[in-house]
C-alpha cells in the first residue's frame, strides 16, 4: 500500500512540475504576477511529493518487501539495514529516483534562497528546472519505475551487488548526483538570463555560489568513487579512465572552467557569451554522462544493465534540453558586447588561458571516451582507448595550467600589476626549482623527467597559494571567506599534484606466489604470508590471510586480505587488506589458489596515496568556504 502511495506521489509530482514549468515560463513571458506566484509553492510541492516517493521506496527496502520487483532484485533479508537503505540507489530505477530527488531539492533551495531576485527571473529559473524535472519524472514513470510489483512475491531477494556493499559507495552516488544535478542550477540561471534578456553581470553573481557548491559536491563524489575503486575493486588502481569515470570528470573540468569564467563575468563583465556557453556545457555533459551510464552504449564496471528503450528516451530528452539551450544561445549570445579591455598580464588573461586549457583537457577526455562509440557507429572496427592515450593527452594542457595558476592567483584585475607580489612569486618559484634540481641531480631516485617537474609545480602552487592569506594575516588585513576558500582550493590542487606524482613515481608493486610461511620481496619490502583461516560475515563467508610486511627487516604492517564468497549472488569478491599510514598505504590482495599450497598475492606499497583524496576534499572545502562569502547574500540586484 505504502509503495502504491509512493508511486502515486511521483505521478502527482509530475503534475506539480508541469505546473511549475508552465506558470513559471509563461507567467514570466506574459508578465503575470499571479501566475508567477504559483511557482514557489509548486516547487515545494514537487519536493514534498518526490520525498514521499523516496521514503516509500526506502520503507519497502527496510521492511524487506520483496513483492516489489526492485527490492527483490537489489536486497535480501540478510543484508544489514544500512545497506538496505543505500540499496535504494543500488540499481537503475532507484538511483534515478535519487537523481530526481536531488534535482527537486536543488530547485527548492533556489526557491528558498532567491527571495532577493526579481520575480520574473526566479520564475524562469524554477520553470527551466521544472522542465528538467518533467523529463526525468516521465523517464522514471514510463521506463524505470522502482514501484513495480512482483507477484507472487519471492521468499527472499537476490541481494545487493556485493561490490556496492560498502560505506563509501553508499555515499558516492548522492554526492556525485548532487554535483551533476547542481550544474542544472547554473544551466537554469543561464537559460533564464537569456530568456529574460538580462545578460548583465548580476546573473553571474547570482550563479556563482550555486555553481561552486555543485562543483564541491562533484569533487567529493568523484573522490569517493575513486577511493572505492581503489580498495573495493581489489586491485589497487584508483583511476582507470573508465567511460563512466570520464562521464563524471568531464563536467568537473568544464565546471571548474565555469567557476573561473563566472568570476571574470561578475567582476569585469567580460566573457559573457563564453560563460553562458560553459554553463550550458557543464550541465549538458552531466546529462551526457547520465545517458552514457544508462543507455548501454558504453559498457563499464559502473554502468547499469543495457536498455535501448531507456537510451532512446534520454537521448530524445538530451536533444530537447541541450538543443533548446544551444538554439537559445545562438539567438541571444550575438547581442552581447564586451567593451572593456584588459592587459596581457591582468587576471582576465590568466583566467582566459585557464579556461582554454581546461576546455582542451575536457575535449581530450571527451575524444577518448567517445572514440570507441564513433568508430563503432561508422563501422571502423572495435577499439579501446586506455591510459596510454589519456595520461599524456591529459597532462599536456594541465601542466602549463598549474604554472599559470601559480602566477595567476597574484595577478590583479584589468591592469596586470604583478609587481607588488613579484618578490613572493620569484621566491616560491626558486624554492620549487631548487627542489626540482635536487630531484634531477638524484637526491631521490627520480624515475622520470616528469616526476621532478610535477613535484616542482605542486610545491610552487602550494606555496604560491598560501602567500596571499599569509601576507594579509601578517599585516592584520581582513581575511574574507572568498580569499581563504580560493587559497585553500589552490593549495589543495598543489597537494593533489604532489601526491599523485608520488604515487605514480614511487609505487612498488608485484604479484607474488606465496604458501603459508613463505615470503616474497617487493622493492625494499618483504611480504610474508603467515596464516590462512575461514571467517564468516553476515551474508558471506571468507578466506582470510594474514600477511606481515617488513621494511629492511622491521615489521611495518599487518594485513588481512580476504576472498569473500557472497551466498545469495554466489559471487566471489576480493577484499584487499590495506594498512593506511601517514606517509603510505601498504596493500595486499589475495588472488587465487595456485595449487601446491600457494596463493597468488598482489602486493603494493603506494606512498602518499591518501593525500590524493584528502586534497580533493580540501578543494571541495575551499569551494564551500568561498561560496559562503557574504557578498553573495546581499540583496541588491544592481550590477
Could you give the angle at the alpha carbon of 217 between the alpha carbons of 216 and 218, nearest 5°? 90
Q: Is 326 in the site for another protein (CB under 8 A)?
A: yes
Instruction: Name the segment binding another protein (CB under 8 A); options: 7-15, 325-333, 413-421, 486-494.
Output: 325-333
Interacting residues with another protein between 59 and 78 (CB under 8 A): 73
Q: Is 85 in the site for another protein (CB under 8 A)?
A: no
Binding mask 338-367 for another protein (x = CB under 8 A): ---x--x----x------x---x---x--x
- Of 300, 54, 301, 55, residue with least CA distance to 161: 301
Question: Based on CB atoms, which residue is closest to another protein, 11 or 340?
Answer: 340
Q: Is 573 in the site for another protein (CB under 8 A)?
A: yes
Interacting residues with another protein between 526 and 565 (CB under 8 A): 563
**Grid coordinates of 344:** 596581457
Distance CA 229, CA 609 (A): 13
Which of 26, 55, 113, 315 binds another protein (CB under 8 A)? It is 315
Q: Is 516 in the site for another protein (CB under 8 A)?
A: no
Question: Based on CB atoms, which residue is closest to another protein, 399 or 483?
Answer: 399
Distance CA 60, CA 395 (A): 47
Question: Based on CB atoms, which residue is closest to another protein, 116 or 341?
Answer: 341
Q: Is 161 in the site for another protein (CB under 8 A)?
A: yes
Which of 33, 340, 374, 477 binds another protein (CB under 8 A)? It is 374
Distance CA 333, CA 120 (A): 20
Q: How would you class 383 by CB atoms within 10 Å of its CB: exposed for 0-12, middle for 13-18, buried for 19 or more?
A: exposed
Question: Based on CB atoms, which residue is closest to another protein, 263 or 589?
Answer: 589
Q: Is 4 in the site for another protein (CB under 8 A)?
A: no
Q: How many residues bind another protein (CB under 8 A)?
A: 85
Rounded to the nearest whole angstrom, what is the least distance from the CB of residue 19 to another protein in the complex? 29
Rounded to the nearest whole angstrom, what is the least distance from the CB of residue 592 to another protein in the complex? 6
Contacts of 5 (CB under 8 A, 6+ apart): 52, 56
Chain centre distance of CA 462? 23
Rounded to the nearest whole angstrom, what is the least distance from the CB of residue 147 to another protein in the complex? 17
Binding mask 452-471 for another protein (x = CB under 8 A): --------------------
Element (H, E) at 587: strand 584-595
Distance CA 304, CA 247 (A): 14
DSSP secondary-structure letter at 544? E
Q: Is 235 in the site for another protein (CB under 8 A)?
A: yes
Q: How would you class 551 by CB atoms within 10 Å of its CB: exposed for 0-12, middle for 13-18, buried for 19 or more?
A: middle
Question: Based on CB atoms, which residue is closest to another protein, 98 or 364?
Answer: 364
Q: Is 143 in the site for another protein (CB under 8 A)?
A: no
Cis check for the bond before 152: say yes or no (omega within 30 of 0).
Answer: yes
User: Is residue 361 within 8 Å of 253, Cβ to Cβ?
Assistant: yes
Place of cell 533548446: 324
Contacts of 349 (CB under 8 A, 6+ apart): 342, 343, 416
Rounded to the nearest whole angstrom, what is the least distance from the CB of residue 168 to another protein in the complex? 17
Which of 2, 85, 113, 296 binds another protein (CB under 8 A)? It is 296
Question: Angle, to 10 degrees, between the axis of helix 39-62 and the axis of helix 92-113?
Answer: 150
Interacting residues with another protein between 183 and 212 (CB under 8 A): none
Which of 246, 295, 539, 610 binds another protein (CB under 8 A)? It is 295
Which of 41, 167, 237, 392 binds another protein (CB under 8 A)? It is 392
Q: Is 297 in the site for another protein (CB under 8 A)?
A: yes
Instruction: Name the segment binding another protein (CB under 8 A); options: 107-115, 136-144, 153-161, 610-618.
Output: 153-161
Chain centre distance of CA 32? 39
Q: Is the dihedral of CA 420, 425, 431, 433 positive or negative?
A: negative
Which of 30, 81, 197, 381 binds another protein (CB under 8 A)? It is 381
Please give the backbone phi and psi of residue 153, each rounded to the nearest 5 degrees, phi first. Answer: -70, 135
Amino acid at each position: 500500500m505504502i509503495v502504491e502511495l509512493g508511486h502515486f506521489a511521483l505521478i502527482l509530482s509530475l503534475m506539480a512540475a508541469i505546473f511549475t514549468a508552465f506558470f513559471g515560463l509563461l507567467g514570466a513571458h506574459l508578465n503575470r504576477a499571479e501566475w508567477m506566484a504559483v511557482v514557489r509553492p509548486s516547487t515545494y510541492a514537487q519536493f514534498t511529493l518526490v520525498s514521499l516517493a523516496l521514503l516509500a521506496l526506502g520503507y519497502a527496502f527496510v521492511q524487506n518487501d520483496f513483492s516489489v520487483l526492485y527490492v527483490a532484485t537489489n536486497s535480501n533479508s540478510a543484508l544489514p539495514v544500512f545497506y538496505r537503505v543505500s540499496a535504494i540507489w543500488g540499481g537503475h530505477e532507484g538511483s534515478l529516483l535519487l537523481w530526481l530527488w536531488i534535482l527537486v531539492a536543488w530547485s527548492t533551495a533556489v526557491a528558498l534562497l532567491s527571495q532577493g531576485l526579481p520575480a520574473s527571473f526566479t520564475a524562469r529559473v524554477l520553470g527551466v528546472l521544472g522542465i528538467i524535472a518533467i523529463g526525468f519524472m516521465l523517464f522514471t514513470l514510463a521506463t524505470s519505475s522502482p514501484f513495480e510489483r512482483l507477484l507472487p512475491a519471492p521468499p527472499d531477494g537476490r541481494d545487493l551487488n556485493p561490490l556496492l556493499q560498502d560505506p563509501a559507495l553508499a555515499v558516492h552516488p548522492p554526492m556525485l548526483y548532487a554535483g551533476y544535478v547542481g550544474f542544472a542550477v547554473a544551466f537554469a540561471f543561464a537559460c533564464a538570463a537569456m530568456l529574460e534578456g538580462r545578460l548583465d553581470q548580476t546573473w553571474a553573481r547570482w550563479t556563482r555560489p550555486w555553481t561552486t557548491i555543485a562543483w564541491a559536491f562533484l569533487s567529493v563524489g568523484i573522490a569517493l568513487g575513486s577511493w572505492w575503486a581503489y580498495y573495493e575493486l581489489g586491485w589497487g588502481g584508483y583511476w582507470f579512465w573508465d567511460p563512466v569515470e570520464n562521464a563524471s570528470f568531464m563536467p568537473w573540468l568544464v565546471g571548474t572552467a565555469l567557476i573561473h569564467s563566472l568570476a571574470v563575468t561578475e567582476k569585469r563583465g567580460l566573457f559573457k557569451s563564453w560563460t553562458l556557453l560553459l554553463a550550458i556545457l557543464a550541465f549538458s555533459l552531466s546529462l551526457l554522462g547520465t545517458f552514457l551510464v544508462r543507455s548501454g552504449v558504453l559498457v563499464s564496471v559502473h554502468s547499469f544493465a543495457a536498455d535501448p528503450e531507456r537510451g532512446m528516451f534520454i537521448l530524445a530528452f538530451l536533444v530537447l534540453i541541450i538543443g533548446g539551450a544551444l538554439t537559445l544561445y545562438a539567438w541571444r549570445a550575438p547581442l552581447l558586447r564586451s567593451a572593456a579591455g584588459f592587459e596581457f598580464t591582468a587576471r582576465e588573461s590568466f583566467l582566459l588561458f585557464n579556461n582554454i586549457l581546461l576546455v582542451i583537457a575536457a575535449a581530450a577526455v571527451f575524444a577518448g571516451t567517445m572514440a570507441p562509440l564513433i568508430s563503432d557507429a561508422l563501422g571502423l572496427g572495435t577499439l579501446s582507448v586506455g591510459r596510454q592515450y589519456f595520461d599524456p593527452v591529459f597532462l599536456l594542457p594541465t601542466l602549463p595550467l598549474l604554472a599559470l595558476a601559480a602566477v595567476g592567483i597574484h595577478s590583479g584585475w584589468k591592469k596586470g600589476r604583478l609587481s607588488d607580489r613579484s618578490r613572493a612569486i620569484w621566491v616560491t618559484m626558486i624554492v620549487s626549482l631548487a627542489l626540482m634540481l635536487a630531484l634531477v641531480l638524484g637526491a631521490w631516485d627520480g624515475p622520470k623527467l616528469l616526476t621532478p617537474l610535477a613535484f616542482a609545480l605542486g610545491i610552487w602552487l602550494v606555496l604560491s597559494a598560501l602567500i596571499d592569506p599569509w601576507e594579509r594575516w601578517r599585516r592584520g588585513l581582513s581575511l574574507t571567506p572568498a580569499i581563504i576558500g580560493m587559497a585553500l582550493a589552490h593549495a589543495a590542487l598543489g597537494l593533489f599534484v604532489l601526491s599523485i606524482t608520488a604515487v605514480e613515481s614511487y609505487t612498488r608493486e608485484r604479484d607474488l606466489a606465496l604458501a603459508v610461511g613463505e615470503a616474497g620481496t617487493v622493492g625494499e619490502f618483504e611480504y610474508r604470508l603467515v596464516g590462512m583461516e575461514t571467517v564468516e560475515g553476515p551474508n558471506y563467508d571468507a578466506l582470510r590471510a594474514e600477511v606481515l610486511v617488513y621494511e629492511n627487516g622491521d615489521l611495518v604492517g599487518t594485513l588481512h586480505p580476504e576472498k569473500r564468497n557472497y551466498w545469495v549472488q554466489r559471487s566471489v569478491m576480493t577484499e584487499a587488506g590495506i594498512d593506511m599510514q601517514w606517509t603510505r598505504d601498504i596493500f595486499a590482495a589475495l588472488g587465487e589458489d595456485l595449487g601446491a599450497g600457494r596463493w597468488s598475492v598482489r602486493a603494493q606499497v603506494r606512498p602518499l596515496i591518501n593525500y590524493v583524496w584528502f586534497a580533493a576534499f580540501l578543494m571541495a572545502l575551499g569551494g564551500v568556504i568561498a561560496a559562503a562569502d557574504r557578498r553573495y547574500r546581499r540583496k541588491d540586484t544592481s550590477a
